[in-house]
Each structure stands twice: as structure tokens, then as C-alpha cells.
Amino acid sequence: MTALESKQALTVLADDAEDTARWMVDRTSGAFETRRLQLLDTVPDVVGYYSEGSAALAADAYMDARWGVGGAFVAAPIVLDRTVKIRRGVAWASDPMSLGDFEMASSRFAKLVRTEMTRPYRDTTLGNGARDGMFVGYKRIARGESCGFCKALAARGAVFKKSTVYFAAHDYCQCTAAAAFVGQPHGPEADVMQYTASKRRRTPAEKAAINDWAASYE
């Protein structure tokens, strides 16, 4: 399975996750606080279910990309415990229900679930790469309709090689990470702006420069 095919499979899984999230909102009943508690009890497990599928896709894609590379290695799915953050997200997503706006709540839950279940795909790629001596870095795989920021980070098929680099992702970001290995042809190393945009913390001047840079890819 190629990186693009794996991303397409993830998109199908994420679409199903969104549908499930919207269905769950529709299935709640009772007063607002009762509905919120129902979602607090169930959404984390649903995110966990889809996260396992996401991580498994990434592990398979990692091994497919590694085919022919020397050294024994077996990629393992990685799903980090984000229960607390997911529950906070549920509290935020359910707020519109207090005003009877179930359409907004459904949209928020779809966004929350898709964002969270996509994360393990990237965590699996980068986590396995951190313990694989043949891993060079990762390439960002963006969609054609991605925002300028994501397109700019994925430009030229750039490979992010620094072990400390952060995978910059906004809410609802659907970019994935594809592994690059020693001995395989791959794109150039990420440039200064791509690395700057991937920092966890940026100065106001850096943020302004990144915004201008990303706008050129819109």
C-alpha cells in the first residue's frame, strides 16, 4: 500500500468516524446535562476504536514503505492515552446542545472525532521511526484541497529529518506522515520555513512570516 493509498483508506475510516459521531448526538436523549453525560461516557471509547484502526493503517503503511530496507524491524500501532483531552473536547462540542443547536453540536463532534482519530496515524509513524535505525524522517502527505499551511509544509515532498521536529497540525487537519528510509530515493530535506512552521512555539515575527509564506500556497 502506497502512502497515498494508505491516506485514502484513512479518509474512508475518518468519514465513517464522523458519521458515527453525528449519529451518537442524534441518539442522546433527556435534558442537556443528561445528554452531555451520555456523550462523555461513550465518545472516548468510540474515538479509541477508530484510533486503533488509524494506528493499524499507519503500521502497515510503515512496513510497506520499509520493504527492501536492511535491518529487522516490526512496526507497532501506537495509540496514546488522550482520554482527558477527549473528554474536554466532548464538553466543548456539547455546549451548543444547551441552546438546542444540535446541528452545531453534531458538526463539533464530527470535527473532534476526526481530529483525534487521525492523530494516532502520525504518532505511529513517528513513534516507530524514533526506534528504527533506518528511518531518515517523514514526509507530509496533504490533500489537494488542504489549506495553504499544510500545502506549504508538504511542498517539494520535503523530508523532515530533525528528531526534535513537531508535526504541526491544526484542528481538523487530515495530513498524514509517511516514513522515509536510508537507501531510498526521497525528496529534499525540509527548508528553514518548513522547520520554523513545525515548531511548537513561534515568536510573533515567525508567525507573521509563516502566515505570509502559507498564503502563497492557497
- Look-up of cell digits 533506518: 134
Under 8 Å between Cβ of 153 and 195: no
If phi > 0 it is left, if psi is from -120 to 50 it is alpha, else beta; for residue 177 that is: beta
**Can you tell me the mean pLDDT for 207-216?**
89
Output DSSP code: residue 182.
T
Q: Are 134 and 49 in contact (CB under 8 A)?
A: no
With residues binned 3-state (H G I as helix, E B as strand, rest as coil), the percentages for the chain, rounded to 5, are 60, 5, 30
The model scores a pTM over 0.95: no
In this prediction, residue 186 carries a pLDDT of 87
Q: Confidence band (pLDDT; 50, 70, 90) for 57?
A: very high
